[in-house]
Amino acid sequence: MKNVVPTRIVAFITSLMLMSLPVVGFSQSDAAAIKYRRAVMKGQAGHLGAMFGIVKGGAGRASDLSAHARALHELTGMIESAFKQDTMGGKTRAKSKIWDDYEAFKAKAAAADKASGGIVQAVQSGDQDAIGKALGAMGKACKACHKKYRKKKQ
């Protein structure tokens, strides 16, 4: 099929699209960035809590462990980008030292991502001991970061 739509029209439509879409990522307000990263955190707590509910409480279905594990793993992979924007104003418990040394913060995020990957593997193995251990290790990775980078509740 050859150039059915005149180039002029294509250019016009493209310019409309560029006007309505941010070209270089979405520009974030601080409030949106804070809300987003807190939502990512709450999602992690939700999936981790659900897994503990299945393993310890006998709730839900064991067959859903895998979906929770993978969802948690996806979310831990988002921590780094969720905190990229240095935002200290607003409703946040994040400590400013996150952005004093972002590489060190990223290392904590990477450790959490590794721990959640460990849960995915343990669930795949079906070994209950391994699953329990992996969940415990995850809890420690979450706490390690909170201890250093999250302010205590006031």
Nearest approach in angstroms of CB 112 to ligand HEC is 3
The binder of ligand HEC chosen from 52, 60, 66, 93 (CB under 6 A): 93
69 binds ligand HEC (CB under 6 A): no
Q: How far apart are CA 145 and CA 154, in angstroms?
A: 18
- Give yes or no for a contact between 70 and 120, defined as CB atoms under 8 angstroms apart: yes
Please, which of residues 101-140 interact with ligand HEC by CB under 6 A? 105, 108-109, 112, 138
Q: Which residues does 89 contact at the CB level (< 8 Å), separation at least 6?
A: 30
| Residue choice 50, 68, 118, 149 for contact with ligand HEC (CB under 6 A) | 149
Binding status of residue 37 toward ligand HEC by CB under 6 A: yes
- CA 88, 28, 90 angle in degrees (round to 5)? 30
User: Please, are residues 52 and 135 in contact by the beta-carbon 8 Å criterion?
Assistant: yes
42 is a site residue for ligand HEC (CB under 6 A) = yes
Place of tokens 């709730």: 59
Q: Which two tokens stand for residue 59?
A: 């709730």
Would you tell me which residues interact with ligand HEC (CB under 6 A)? 34, 37-38, 41-42, 44-45, 48, 79, 92-94, 105, 108-109, 112, 138, 141-142, 145-146, 149-150
